[in-house]
Amino acid sequence: MNYGMRGADAEADAQLVEQLAHQWDVPFYSISAQMLGFDPHDQRNFQERARDIRYRWLQQVRQTEQYDKIATAHQLDDQVETLLMRLFRGSSLKGLVGIPPSRQDIIRPLLSIPRAMIVEYLRQKNLPYRIDHTNLTEDYLRNRIRHRILPTIQAVFPAWATAFNHTTSHLSRQYVLYRALWEERVYKIVRPYLQGYYIARTALEKSLEGHAQELWEEILHWLGFSAHQIEEIGLFDDHYTGQKFHNSKWTLYVERNGWVFLPNDFSSQWSKQIIHGPGVYQTRWGTVEVHVLKSDEKIPQSSSTIVVSPDDMALPLVLRPRQKGDVFYPVGWSSGVRLKKLLTNARYPTHQKSTAPVLTDAEGNILWIPGVRVSSRLKNPSTPHRWLLKWLPYFQE
């Protein structure tokens, strides 16, 4: 892949690889990164963007040609450089494990071999190779580590390669054990919810005998939050209801008794439901069941259940999302209140507030906020013909 940064040098690299491919009778693939929308003049996170587009292209080639694996050329010096950068920047245990030898369909067969040994092998076998001259500069942190720090390590610890392999191998095995124990624990407190997860505060606080903060940070790391973002989110017991945090995939909502994680592409929108009679009516946040009551059944009105007489109101009933400007008249109140304010005072879940379900009659009068309050406009049934409406939420703190 040519990123358009090294001009004739990059073209010469490609020519050498193509010549070797023809000589050895193996397929050759080449592409300009700019053809995939890569801007070489944008220096923001250049290496990260280059890595991302490189792997996406390699996966396309692998899938198109039906190859099993992608083998990368990472070697031991790359591993050392990566770990030193992570160590001095601050890293979790996962970061100190370093570059994995394999990950899904990616393998790194040279990862335990020092760069010097690879170069010596090429010379002994008289195999042609080229040097990326940008690696000789100190423009990038990795290059400064390569040219300033690694030679000192080599001078002080001549057998560093063998020792380093032992250390990374030991850490990897320990991390596998740690992950198995961690996943066993985390799946006891992380509950699936819609397309994401919910963590109850009490479940987290009771976990790991006083190490809830460490587990909290590992959960955030597991969901892709960076070290900087985790630091910004802070202590789990310092949060207040209504806070929101984001990474590239998830939005974290701080609720009254826990935390909700929903994907950024999750849509809270849902379509209104017309209630003509008994049945089950779906919203984004739960269902309303409508049943015909027997004449002798007595069920009191509540935030979760109401009884209506279809003979006493304008039909059909409408179950719809909250709208901007909605005004509600709760039982016992002398005046109306903005529904948004009512939901806030009722500590309604933050991630549901913008599209909370509302039940109205055919004239648009709000009769019920399922799970919250009953309206003073909802009359007591005066006829034996009655319906029971029951709210069944998906989310319960």
* Span 16-25, pLDDT tens digits: 999 999 999 9
Quick check: 257 pLDDT over 80?
Answer: yes
243 or 98: which leads in pLDDT: 243
Q: Read off the pLDDT band of 53 (50, 70, 90).
A: very high
The sign one gets for the Cα dihedral 182, 186, 192, 196 is negative
pLDDT of 139 reads 76
The answer to whether the beta carbons of residues 347 and 260 sit under 8 Å apart is: no
Q: Answer whether residue 176 shows pLDDT above 80.
A: yes
Mean pLDDT computed over 146-164: 86
The rounded Cα 351 to chain-centroid distance in angstroms is 16
- Count of alpha carbons within 13 Å of 378, Cβ hemisphere only? 26
Query: How far is residue 383's CA from residue 310's CA, in Å, rounded to a whole number?
Result: 9
Arithmetic mean of pLDDT, 330-353: 91
Query: At residue 194, does pLDDT exceed 90?
Result: yes
The pLDDT of residue 49: 87
Q: Residue 260: pLDDT above 80?
A: yes
Fold of 7-165: Rossmann fold (3.40.50)
pLDDT bin (cut points 50, 70, 90) of residue 46 is confident
pLDDT at residue 288 in the model: 96
Answer yes or no: are the C-beta atoms of 192 and 185 closer than 8 Å. Answer: no
Q: Where in the chain is the domain with CATH 3.40.50.620?
A: 7-165
Task: For residue 342, name the pLDDT band (cuts at 50, 70, 90).
Answer: very high
**Can you give the chain as a three-state secondary structure string?**
CECCCCHHHHHHHHHHHHHHHHHHCCCCCCCEHHHHCCCCCCCCCHHHHHHHHHHHHHHHHHHHHCCCCEECCCCHHHHHHHHHHHHHHCCCHHHHHCCCCEECCEECCCCCCCHHHHHHHHHHCCCCCCCCHHHHCCCCHHHHHHHHHHHHHHHHCCCHHHHHHHHHHHHHHHHHHHHHHHHHHHHHHEEEECCEEEEEHHHHHCHHHCCHHHHHHHHHHHCCCCHHHHHHHCCHHHCCCCCEEECCCEEEEEECCEEEEEECCCCCCCCCEEECCCEEEECCCEEEEEEECCCCCCCCCCCCEEEECHHHCCCCEEEEECCCCCEECECCCCCCEEHHHHHHHCCCCHHHHHHCEEEECCCCCEEEECCCEEECCCCCCCCCCCEEEEEEECCCC
Other beta carbons within 10 Å of 105: 13
- The Cα-based distances of 192 to 131, 188, 254, 260 in angstroms read 50, 11, 16, 10
Predicted pLDDT at 32? 92
- What is the structure's pLDDT at 133? 80
Instruction: Using the predicted structure, report yes or no on whether residue 271 has a pLDDT greater than 80.
Output: yes
Q: Report the distance separating Cα 300 and Cα 307, nearest Å.
A: 8
Mean pLDDT of the chain: 89
Portion of the chain with pLDDT greater than 90, in percent: 51
Q: What is the mean pLDDT of residues 291-309?
A: 86
pLDDT more than 70, % of the chain: 100
Distance CA 244, CA 322 (A): 21
**pLDDT score of 179:** 80
Q: What are phi and psi of 53, to 5 degrees?
A: -70, -30
Read off the pLDDT band of 268 (50, 70, 90): very high
Q: What is the pLDDT of residue 93?
A: 77
Structure-token pair, residue 55: 């792997």
**Which of the residue ranges 97-106, 135-144, 214-223 would you say has the lowest mean pLDDT?**
135-144
What is the band of 281 on the pLDDT scale with cuts at 50, 70, 90? Answer: very high
Does residue 172 carry a pLDDT above 80? yes
Q: Pick the residue with more confidence: 153 or 252?
A: 252
Query: What is the Cα gyration radius of the chain?
Result: 31
- Average pLDDT, integer, range 70-79: 93
- pLDDT band, residue 134 (cuts 50/70/90): confident
CA distance 221 to 253: 16
- Residues pairing with 395 in the sheet: none
Question: What CA–CA distance (Å, rounded) separates 106 from 71?
Answer: 6
221 vs 86: CA distance, rounded Å: 15
Beta bridge partners of 292: 387
pLDDT at 191: 92
Confidence of residue 282 (pLDDT cuts 50, 70, 90): very high
